[in-house]
Amino acid sequence: MELRILSVNVGRPRVIGYLHGEPVRSGIVKHPTASEMVFVGATSIAGDAQADLSVHGGADKAVYAYPADHWPWWEREHTLPCAAATFGENLTLEGADETSVRIGDRFRWGEALLEVSQPRGPCFKLGIHTNRADTPGIMTRAARCGWYLRVLEEGQAPASGTLVRVHESASPCVRDAFRAATHPNIEYAICEAVFAAPALAQSWRLAVERRLAPRPDSNN
């Protein structure tokens, strides 16, 4: 599998709006880089940063990718104009979606080696960023969430070209991993399989674990 890079996007935290009269800071506003090459570090792409490190960023969320394959659906079904970084992503990609990318898949990007670690869980800041309060809910219901990647090997990477899958995981796909933590009627067996995925980020694993207890056949 090769994913075509449409854009590499970076941004620094800034005030994006107000909630209950208080300023909301976020790094969700990103813009395509003008550089031909970028340095992909252990926790972020050079020039990129997050405002609230308690829930954003870190080793398991170093790079956020979103498939432009979803753009026609967003525009047709929800009249949301789409372009690079509409969803706050670092990598705007083409050629796959959450059903064909698996937790633990590894991609070579220039010198960098990336591993899919978890889905993206949308929050209210996405609604502010898109000027649509319903965007996070729409993304959740549709499981069109994109995915985070951890950086296994740092290095220089091109701002165009492709990400090449060099390891296909046997773990569940990103869509099932997202549904295992967010959807009320997800099959118990899927939750179990997602929970057991070796490469799954610990924070997402804890969210799935809450769906596994108590077991549906428990007498307690």
DSSP letters along 68-90, please?
GGGHHHHHHHH-----TTTT--S
Is residue 185 in a domain? no
Residue type, 80: L
Backbone angles phi, psi at 112, to 5 degrees: -85, 145
Is residue 187 in a domain? no
Is residue 104 in a domain? yes
Q: Residues 93, 98, 100, CA angle at the centre, nearest 5°?
A: 90
Mean pLDDT computed over 182-189: 93
Give CA 101 to chain center in angstroms. Answer: 11
Output b/e per residue, 129-152; b: 16+ Cβ within 10 A: bbeeeebbebbbebbbbbbbbbbe
Name the one residue in this structure whose structure tokens are 């099932």: 176
Is residue 19 in a domain? yes
Other Cβ atoms within 10 Å of 185 Cβ, number? 5
Is residue 192 in a domain? no
**Segment holding 158, helix H or strand E:** strand 155-158
pLDDT (tens digit per residue) in 111-154: 999 999 999 999 999 999 999 999 999 999 999 999 999 999 99
pTM: 0.94
The first and second tokens of residue 143, run together, are 């499981």
Counting residues of the chain whose pLDDT is more than 90, the rounded percentage is 90
pLDDT (tens digit per residue) in 59-70: 999 999 999 999
Backbone angles phi, psi at 32, to 5 degrees: -55, 135
User: Tell me, what DSSP letter sits at residue 65?
Assistant: E
The total of structural domains in the chain comes to 1
Which pLDDT belongs to residue 220?
45
Is residue 184 in a domain? no
CATH number, domain of 73, equals: 2.40.33.20
Is residue 163 in a domain? yes
Domain extent at residue 50:
2-169
Is residue 213 in a domain? no
